[in-house]
Amino acid sequence: MAENPLRFRDDQQADEPAVSLGAFLEQANANSVRIEAGDDVRLLIPALDRVRLVEIDFPRFRDGRGFSSARILREAGYTGELKATGDVLLDLLAFMRRCGFDSFAPDSPIDPAEAELAFNRYPHVYQHAADPPDSPWAVPIWKLRHA
Amino acid sequence: MKILVHELGAEEFARQVEEEFAHFVTLGTDFPQAEYDRIAAYFAPPPFETGLSGEIDRSDPAFALWVDRQVAAHKAPGYAIANISLKPIGGIPGDISAEQMDLVADLAERYSFDELRATHAQNLVLPHVRKSDLYAVWQALDEAGLADVNLDLVSDIIACPGLDYCSLANARSIPVAQKLAERFADIDRQRDLGELKIKISGCINACGHHHAGHIGILGVDRKGTENYQLLLGGSGAEDTTPAKITGPGFDEDGVVDAVERAIERYRAVREPGERFLDTYRRVGMEPFKEAIYG
Ligand code: SF4
């Protein structure tokens, strides 16, 4: 499989296709799951230690439920790959990262150089979110100000 | 959001918000007091002078009228809050020319610690004027055509841009506001009617907050022509109430007439000291309906 330039992880990609949330919960050995916009991702939390890949689909850019799904999983301690698929647009990328996504498979391709610019547009943030620990966003501006 | 609250019920919705909030607090998103203080410092009150006179020289009667209607008390002794009306009769609510704006900016710089505020009612406020400077401020405003005396009166109408400027509109708002203001131009009549808030929106998006007007007007599209629904009894103040629709809608001139009929009914049945809204609350919709639809 070709390297995904919008994948920000060093580990091996999961090699099995993601299955629906219902199927995943029934198949005790599955490790990749696909979350649709209406799915309640909290059902996945008890099974998190066997998950290697979660794909979260954005059917239309204005359906923002996938942002919450991602954040909920990260806050529940999920550390595997979290991939945004579907109607993923350049101007959403930075916010998706802040919600915990670390790979992207947009329906219409995004130029990695432009993605890089989007990630670096705002160097500081006001509030802690589901940012990766090595991200500049992991430390809110007030912590830097009053360190 | 309103659909969600409707589906879940207010109690369950509140419970879920509380639960999420409790979780949120554990994430350490709260900023420290030092950051709060840093931001609060931007909102420190200006350096008010002390020992100022509390007197206003009211010997010019036109100025005294303006003071009574447009000037409000300030918490710092010797200062006052000056409301600038952007509602000249027949004008576009909230409009101000570049030259007038320059002048107001100068006044803010000179007399109000460089501070000027815009209100949701489409007027401007000089928030910290020394009482002894009010006359000079008024003279400058008057010369620039900005000394109208109608704050919160029937001609102090809020109107959204409507079909003249807004691509979402169903109907025009501004001409309705202009016709209403002209209908009630007589200042003695306005003062007799007292506080009366008319608010006009050109579509259901409600940018003019018609649903919170003592009298509200909502532009709708009826088979491709502009039509206006009339609403009564709304309030956006501390005693919030949503306004209620009177009945079938009107065309542009029809709605102006209907407003006048409602207001005349108020005059006929009000008790001493009652505002339009108070009378409506006491007597209900029926007497107004009868006046409006005959
Ligand atoms: S209420 Fe409607 S017409 Fe008026 S400004 Fe808002 S969107 Fe435009």
Whether the pLDDT of residue B198 is over 80: the answer is yes
Judge whether A58 lies within some domain.
yes
The amino acid sitting at A115 is A
What's the mean pLDDT when you consider all of chain B? 96
Q: Which residue of A has its CA nearest to B36?
A: A142
Give the Cα separation of B29 and A49 in Å (integer): 26
Across residues B142-158, what is the average pLDDT? 98
The amino acid sitting at B112 is S
DSSP category for residue A50:
G
Ligand 1 atom with the shortest distance to the CA of B219: 3
* pLDDT tens sequence across B225-253: 999 999 999 999 999 999 999 999 999 99
Judge whether A24 lies within some domain.
yes
B29 neighbourhood in chain A, CB within 8 Å: 127-128, 140
How crowded is residue B28: how many other Cβ atoms within 10 Å of its Cβ? 10
Give the Cα separation of B293 and B262 in Å (integer): 10
Ligand 1 atom with the shortest distance to the CA of B169: 3
Judge whether A11 lies within some domain.
no
B178 CA → ligand 1 middle, Å: 17
- The pLDDT of residue B41 is 94
Say if residue A56 is exposed, middle or buried (CB neighbours under 10 Å; 0-12, 13-18, 19+): buried
CB-based contact, B35 to chain A, within 8 Å:
yes
B176 CA → ligand 1 middle, Å: 14
- The pLDDT of residue A132 is 82
pTM for the structure as a whole: 0.76
Pocket test for ligand 1, best of B158, B160, B200 (most atoms within 8 A of CB): B160
A142 neighbourhood in chain B, CB within 8 Å: 31-32, 34-35
* pLDDT tens sequence across A2-18: 678 999 999 999 888 99
Q: Which of B177, B169, B154 is nearest to B255 (CA)?
A: B177
The amino acid sitting at A118 is A
Judge whether A66 lies within some domain.
yes
Ligand 1 atom with the shortest distance to the CA of B206: 1
In 3-state terms, what secondary structure has residue B72?
strand
How many residues belong to chain A?
Answer: 147
What is the residue range of A74's domain?
A: 19-145
CB-defined site of ligand 1, < 6 Å = B 160-162, 166, 168-169, 201-203, 205-208
- The pLDDT of residue B92 is 97
Q: What is the CA angle B271-B62-B51, rounded to 5?
A: 95
* Residue owning tokens 């360190």: A147
Give the Cα separation of B79 and B72 in Å (integer): 10
- The pLDDT of residue B37 is 95
The ipTM assigned to this model is 0.74
Q: What are phi and psi of B246, to 5 degrees?
A: -75, -35
Say yes or no for a CB contact (<8 Å) between B35 and A128.
no
Q: Would you kindly state where each structural domain of chain B is located, as residue ranges?
A: 2-43, 61-143, 158-293
Non-local CB neighbours of B77 within 8 Å, separated by 6+ positions:
B50, B52, B54
Whether the pLDDT of residue B21 is over 60: the answer is yes
Query: What is the domain count for chain A?
Result: 1
How crowded is residue A8: how many other Cβ atoms within 10 Å of its Cβ? 16
Judge whether A56 lies within some domain.
yes
**Parallel, antiparallel or unpaired: strands A81-86 and A53-58:** parallel
Judge whether A95 lies within some domain.
yes
Confidence category of residue B28, pLDDT binned at 50, 70, 90: confident
Q: Which residue of A has its CA nearest to B39?
A: A142
Whether the pLDDT of residue B219 is over 80: the answer is yes
- Mean pLDDT in order along chain A per 10 residues (147 residues): 84 92 94 96 96 97 95 95 97 95 96 95 90 87 90
B73 CA → ligand 1 middle, Å: 34
Give Cα A24 to chain centroid, integer Å: 18
B217 CA → ligand 1 middle, Å: 12
- The pLDDT of residue A1 is 52
Q: Give me the CATH number covering residue A45.
A: 3.20.20.70
CATH number (3.30.413.10, 3.40.50.620, 3.40.980.10, 3.40.50.1580) of B158-293 reads 3.30.413.10
The CA–CA distances, whole Å, from B226 to B77, B163, B176, B218 equal 51, 10, 11, 10
Give the Cα separation of B113 and B126 in Å (integer): 9
